[in-house]
Chains A and B, each alone.
Chain A
Amino acid sequence: MARASSTQRLEPLRHVDAGALNVAYYETGPANGPVAVLLHGFPYDIHSYVDVAPMLASQGCRVIVPYLRGYGPTRFRDAATRRSGEQAAMGADLMALMDALQIQRAVFAGYDWGGRAACIGAALWPERCIGLISANSYLIQDIARAMRPAPAIHEVPLWYQYYFQIERGRSGLAANRRDIAKILWQQWSPNWAFDDACFERTALAHDNPDYVDVVIHSYRHRFGLAEGDPQYADIQRKLAALPPVTVPAITLDGAGDGVVPATDGKASAAKFTGRRTHHVIPRAGHNLPQEEPEAFAAAVMELIKA
């Protein structure tokens, strides 16, 4: 029943100045509850958590669901700020949001770009993190090794990343952002029968004026082919060491993930020095919180209750 992701919108939104951004976010649940920050991926938006958010709220959590930089009504505060999509920026945005909302500690939960932001927040600011939920385990990018090829069969699903390296890909994303997003949704979640209304609700977030710049920079930076914003250089230097996650963690893989194959979690075991459990969710694809909200919400609650 919950699999048919509801068609409601996460509204009303709130807006807060936080670091480089004015962040648009959805909040639900008791203001004095334990906090969970739910972070979406590319090419998705906050509605990945349309079912997870009320589940957590009904169990007493204060739930914060921000639009990442480049998505939805989130805006850069300064026209001159670089539209960086690098991993360090995503982590810094998370901390800036926590500070702006005067939240001391929270569970960081995410997948894809949002999972990376959560991993970075957990690794570099463990004192701010109650625990980490990450789909696809440890997501901090090892840019020094980005030019090592993967098995050929795993390179094919990354077609969009390679496409985005050239200006043709930037133009293509600008002109065809919806068609590209839909192809990726279908490839990454082959068992998820989302409908047009569900897709459209999220695709609106990609009309953000900074979307193309942030996305293109993100995919170029991770291959070492675009420079980072100097304001994040210190953070990126720390990330280059691939710091461990020391807080309690639950990692989830979708057995039907069409872009990052499900694993048994062992390859990343050394990166989790605190308590960590790994689950493979049957049938689920890459957009795990929207496809399997109970499993995702249960993982968050497990960390909050621990």
Chain B
Amino acid sequence: MRDAVDKRRRLLLGAALSGMTAIDAGLHARAYAQAKVPAAARASSLRRLEPLRHVETEILNIACFEEGPATGPAVILLHGFPYDIHTYADVAAILAVKGCRAIVPYLRGYGETRFRDMATPRSGEQAALGADVIALMDALHIGRAVFAGHNWGGRAATVAAALWPDRCAGLVTVNSYLIQDLSRAMMPGPPENEEAMWYEYYFQLERGRAGLAANRRKIARMLWEEWSPDWDFDDATFDRSAAALDNPDFVDVAIHSYRHRFGNADGDPRYAELAKRLAAMPPITVPAATLDGDSDGVVAAGDGSASAAKFTARRIHRVVKGAGHNVPQEAPEAFAAAVTELVKV
């Protein structure tokens, strides 16, 4: 298995290094300079993001951490699967020092966030994740914010930026444009990439649901290791996040998310209208910064050109050297810098 992962990394690195334009090479050099931060900064702090506040939306009671001046420009920091808000343990502190109001919610199915009604479908579809961001902003009376995220959180950020641009001061994502094209979900990828998605295929079966329920920590840890091969996280760092996966809705939301994206689960009718708009793959019309980790073990780093047409406003793309899939936690300075640049615009 190790060999396969190593091979995959080589393949992904090859993809990242080929086909770069002169402009991209310049960006790449800049990213390289950024990556030369002191090693100490890469060793993510062990602080817990506490205390949490709890915010009621129509659907959820959202647990979130807030840091920084209440009057500062708002930044919503959105975590991924199988991670939690501590992806932003360092980013939140950096942004607060720079005067931002950083808001870090647990997504539906994670940590202390709860569904308010037993009867609400535990949907993990992309439209729901985007709608949750806007509902949170409404509940907090925040008009506009920078949306920043990776993985599921990057998708939530992309969805919200595309459908509610008037609420978005700018978008920061890892892995660029993340709205899923369900109409192409049955088109196979290169086998090396398909192998990296083993968990997504596993989750299509009831065996995968039972496996996730029984072994969520072991599965999460394997994914962390596969996706961030150069990140030397310790047990305490992992356990701090893994506790969020004990949420009673975690398995339902995760399984629904991975089935829905392949057309193997129906969406919640509540989000049908949003899902229809997402099916058109709407562009991002707000300023955007996109980051790829050059040792990302699940989504190959690229030069950003493949998704260029989806960004109709100013957009910069950077490859963060040494970072894997969990870019905000692995390279917090690079991630925070992308946010503050958008805040200043």
Residues on A facing B (Cβ under 8 Å)? 146-153, 155-160, 162-163, 165-169, 171-172, 175-176, 179-180, 183, 186-187, 190, 223, 225, 258
Contacts and interface: CB of A to CB of B under 8 A. Distances in A.
Contacts of A158: 198, 202
B191 A172 contact: yes
A156 B200 CA distance: 11
Nearest to A176: B191
B45 interface: no
30 contacts: A146-B207, A147-B210, A148-B207, A149-B208, A149-B214, A152-B211, A152-B218, A153-B222, A155-B198, A159-B194, A159-B201, A162-B201, A162-B202, A162-B204, A162-B205, A162-B208, A163-B201, A165-B201, A165-B205, A166-B264, A167-B186, A168-B187, A172-B188, A176-B188, A176-B190, A179-B191, A179-B192, A190-B3, A223-B205, A225-B205
Nearest to A146: B207
Main secondary structure of the interface of A (DSSP, over half): helix
A162 B198 contact: yes
A158 B208 CA distance: 11
B46 interface: no
Contact of B188 (A168, A186, A223): A168
B191 A169 contact: no
B185 interface: yes
Given A160-B195, A190-B3, 4 more contacts: A149-B211, A152-B218, A162-B204, A183-B191
B1 A155 contact: no
Contact of B189 (A149, A156, A172, A223): A172
| Leading 8 A-B pairs by shortest Cβ distance | A172-B188, A149-B211, A159-B198, A162-B201, A152-B218, A152-B215, A179-B191, A163-B201
A156 B186 contact: no
B308 interface: no
A157 B195 CA distance: 9
Main secondary structure of the interface of B (DSSP, over half): helix
B4 interface: yes
B191 A156 contact: no
A155 B222 CA distance: 11
A150 to B, nearest CB: 7
A147 B262 CA distance: 20
B206 interface: yes
Contact of B3 (A150, A156, A169, A187): A187
B219 interface: yes
Nearest to B221: A152
Interface in B202-242: 202, 204-208, 210-211, 214-215, 218-219, 222
Which of B1, B186, B191 neighbours the largest number of chain A CB atoms within 10 Å of its CB?
B191
A160 B196 CA distance: 11
B3 A186 contact: yes
Which of B7, B195, B197, B264 neighbours the largest number of chain A CB atoms within 10 Å of its CB?
B195
A9 B195 CA distance: 31
Nearest to A163: B201
Contact of B1 (A148, A157, A169): A157
A163 B135 CA distance: 36
A269 B135 CA distance: 59
Contacts of A157: 1
A171 B262 CA distance: 14
Nearest to A175: B188
Contacts of B189: 172
Nearest to B192: A183
Contacts of B4: 183, 186-187
Which of A149, A153, A179 neighbours the largest number of chain B CB atoms within 10 Å of its CB?
A149
A151 to B, nearest CB: 7
A186 B198 CA distance: 17
A156 B221 CA distance: 13
A151 B218 contact: yes
Nearest to A173: B188
B261 to A, nearest CB: 11
B195 A159 contact: yes
